[in-house]
Structure 1
Amino acid sequence: MDKNKYDKLDIYKLDVLQEVGNIGAGNAATALSKMLNAKINVTIPNVRVLDFEEISDALGGSNIIAIGVSIDLIDEMHGRLLQIFQKSFVEKILNNFYHKQVEDLKNLDEMDQSVISEVGNITTAAYANALSVLSGMRINITPPKQYTDEVGKLLHIPSAEIDEYGGSVLFIDVNFSIEEQEFKSNMILELDLKSLTYLFNNLGVPH
């Protein structure tokens, strides 16, 4: 597998990563349902290989303000999970705990940010656990870091744990239905070259 690691994935490998998305999204929905004490359904995730510009477009444009919650994957797998929260989803989450009208994501108070950080910690951990269960690899995660900025800037959050190989990453697009209201949840996964190779080796996927 060369440095253009994601661009070279065939349909079979993407199907394997789709299963990571399926399990991760299901785990995340279950955890969120318990946390919010609300019924949550989730669609089958759409896993795509996109570059940063394409992800910006998929999220509504590089200038859209959003919240990113980022964790690094460490131990036997190195990489990063970045979840993007847009305003409507943030407002719904917060209003499951207390009344809050969100006018500007940059003006959230300390309590608001704490709630979103905890939600991001739960959901990203669910995806990391899915990777660990499927691959049999030992994966630990760093504490979540939260950023509020334009989408184009969030996508370039640095990580000390991975090597950069171009601008393509795995974009996991999920729809959550919370009390019959539908919201998009976008998870971005980037693994370093060695981790991606080990993942497919452990799953018995030829490459």
Structure 2
Amino acid sequence: MMIESNYEEYESEENINAVIVKIQDEKYLIEVEKVKEIYVPGENIVPVPLSEKSIVGVINIRGVIYSIISLRHNIYAESIDYGLNEYSRILLLEWGNLNVAILVDLVIGVREFPLSIFKHQGTIVKTNIEFKFIKLTGVFQEDPLILLDLDAIIQPYIKSFEKIGGKKGEVTTPSVLEKPKVLPKKPKKQAKPKKSIKPRKSDEESTVIIPQSPKISSKLPKASANLKVTLSDDHKDILKEMGNIGTGNAVTALSRLIKKKIDVTLTDVGIISFDQLAGQFGGPKEKVCGIFCHINKPSQSTILNIFEMRPLMHLIATLAGTDSKIEPNKVKTKSDLDEFAISTITEMGNIMAGHYASALADLLETKIMIDIPEFTMSTAGELGDFLTQELKSIAELVIIIKTSIKISDLKLKGMFFLIPDLTTLKLFFKKLGIENTLVI
């Protein structure tokens, strides 16, 4: 079917941020603002008896039931195969009072597109999808683009979903609940929690927060200059538990990826001066790989993973398989890596940061957006010096939430850091009901 562009909306906007998904051989765009989360379904989808064929089933995600629509079945109505495999993803949507998800064959990534590419009348795109499901069409760098109309796709299912359930607010109790781990040691007037923290279950299926458009920045989060912050014991307890929850979620995802047991130490929280920063990463001459992922919404923070270089390269070579030709013992700099190894490190960083951020988002009941990860390979001393230079011009001290991990089978040690700015800290404590949060 040939579709002609019909641009009618977004006249005042310059760009559109979209998730790029794939169904069989065709690519489609879904607006990021409509998507809450991208989730790996695994084998957790439960079929619904007597439902329409294009309704895959339901899934319980952190106690919330989502009804899942097959985008493949909407495009290829004759197909009874949902195409579920290791690459399948479900997109959890922001959709009124309904908990709705869409199953796609593959999520390629997230990208910002200029709206001008949709404005040219007469753009013709060949596609298998029905015209009623198309919002806009265009061409970008010779590739045809189809922006999906989610209203048209979801509207026919609303009555079915109401029968199935899955309205917002309808939350089922998970089969296993852990007691909240965060409780203040001593009740204090200036830091009295209004609600406790419920950690995510360690065996929960993985989620990935959608990265924003891939604009890579080497800058760390900015904060107000010349700030001195004092954390009470209760504040530190809260931050430690947040670090435990975030790292626990990220480590679970990493363990599934590499199929190895990972040991985790208790999280430590500290306010350190910049001359102490390099010492956080081991000896100054130790070769390490630092994977950065910046959180841009709701504020500015950085998730940083540090790994010993040589054991990590052995892990990357194993994960990349025959696609990568790197020799782990000979890798000294980033230039020694091929594109498959680079892609594997980036994807590993994306999975860990996404799961870490997802756990924090659940805890704080907010949406968190992260950038595409980037990484550097250097000595621990050089990495510490780099961070010092990046942060020293904007603050006198840095707050770090640090958790160490160890993979015995690979002789690999690593550290997770969450480096929040002051605005993020205030948001954390406000969301958790902590009064009189910080002494500045």
Partner of 1:132: 361
Q: Secondary structure of 2:260's match?
A: coil
Matched letter for residue 125 of structure 1:
G
Matched letter for residue 395 of structure 2:
Y
Which residue of 44, 58, 78 corresponds with 2:266? 44
Which residue of 414, 417, 437 corresponds with 1:185? 414
Q: Does 1:57 align with 2:284?
A: no
The share of aligned pairs that are identical, in percent, is 28
Native 8 Å contact 1:176 1:184 kept in 2: yes
Which residue of 406, 415, 426 corresponds with 1:176? 406
Which residue of 330, 334, 338 corresponds with 1:103? 330
Q: 1:95: Cα distance to partner?
A: 4.5
Q: Does 1:13 align with 2:199?
A: no
Partner of 1:27: 249
Native 8 Å contact 1:171 1:188 kept in 2: yes
Partner of 2:142: none
Q: Secondary structure of 1:105's match?
A: coil
Partner of 2:344: 115
Q: 1:46: Cα distance to partner?
A: 2.9
Partner of 1:155: 387
Between the aligned partners of 1:81 and 1:156, the Cα distance in structure 2 is: 16
Larger Rg, first or second structure (1 or 2) = 2
Is the alpha carbon distance of 1:40 and 1:121 closer, same or farther for their aligned partners in structure 2, counting shifts above 3 Å? same
* Cα displacement string for residues 9-54 of structure 1 (whole angstroms, at most 9, x for unaligned residues): 1211111111111112211121112211233333333333333332
Q: 1:182: Cα distance to partner?
A: 5.1
Native 8 Å contact 2:271 2:397 kept in 1: no
Larger RCO (CA under 8 A, 6+ residues apart)? 1
Native 8 Å contact 2:279 2:384 kept in 1: no
Partner of 2:227: 3
- TM-score, length-normalised on structure 2? 0.41
Is the alpha carbon distance of 1:32 and 1:103 closer, same or farther for their aligned partners in structure 2, counting shifts above 3 Å? same
Between the aligned partners of 2:397 and 2:330, the Cα distance in structure 1 is: 32
Native 8 Å contact 2:295 2:370 kept in 1: yes
Is the alpha carbon distance of 1:154 and 1:28 closer, same or farther for their aligned partners in structure 2, counting shifts above 3 Å? farther
Native 8 Å contact 1:46 1:174 kept in 2: no
Which residue of 353, 367, 375 corresponds with 1:146? 375
Q: Provide structure 2 residue ranges, at least 5 long, that are not aligned to the other structure.
A: 1-225
User: For this pair of structures, how many residues does the alignment match?
Assistant: 200
RMSD: 2.7
Native 8 Å contact 1:44 1:174 kept in 2: yes
Between the aligned partners of 2:239 and 2:296, the Cα distance in structure 1 is: 19
Partner of 2:4: none
Between the aligned partners of 1:130 and 1:74, the Cα distance in structure 2 is: 16
Partner of 2:396: 166
Partner of 2:430: 201
Is the alpha carbon distance of 1:79 and 1:38 closer, same or farther for their aligned partners in structure 2, counting shifts above 3 Å? same
Q: 1:200: Cα distance to partner?
A: 0.5
Native 8 Å contact 1:77 1:195 kept in 2: yes
Native 8 Å contact 1:67 1:105 kept in 2: no
Partner of 2:292: 70
Native 8 Å contact 1:51 1:169 kept in 2: no
* Cα displacement string for residues 40-87 of structure 1 (whole angstroms, at most 9, x for unaligned residues): 333333333333332311322445442221121122232122222221
Q: Which has the higher helix share?
A: 1
Between the aligned partners of 2:360 and 2:299, the Cα distance in structure 1 is: 9
Matched letter for residue 404 of structure 2:
V
Native 8 Å contact 1:70 1:146 kept in 2: yes
Between the aligned partners of 1:10 and 1:182, the Cα distance in structure 2 is: 36
- TM-score, length-normalised on structure 1? 0.81
Between the aligned partners of 2:285 and 2:401, the Cα distance in structure 1 is: 18
Q: Secondary structure of 1:187's match?
A: strand
Q: 1:190: Cα distance to partner?
A: 2.2
Q: 1:171: Cα distance to partner?
A: 4.1
Matched letter for residue 174 of structure 1:
S
Matched letter for residue 248 of structure 2:
G
Q: 1:100: Cα distance to partner?
A: 4.3
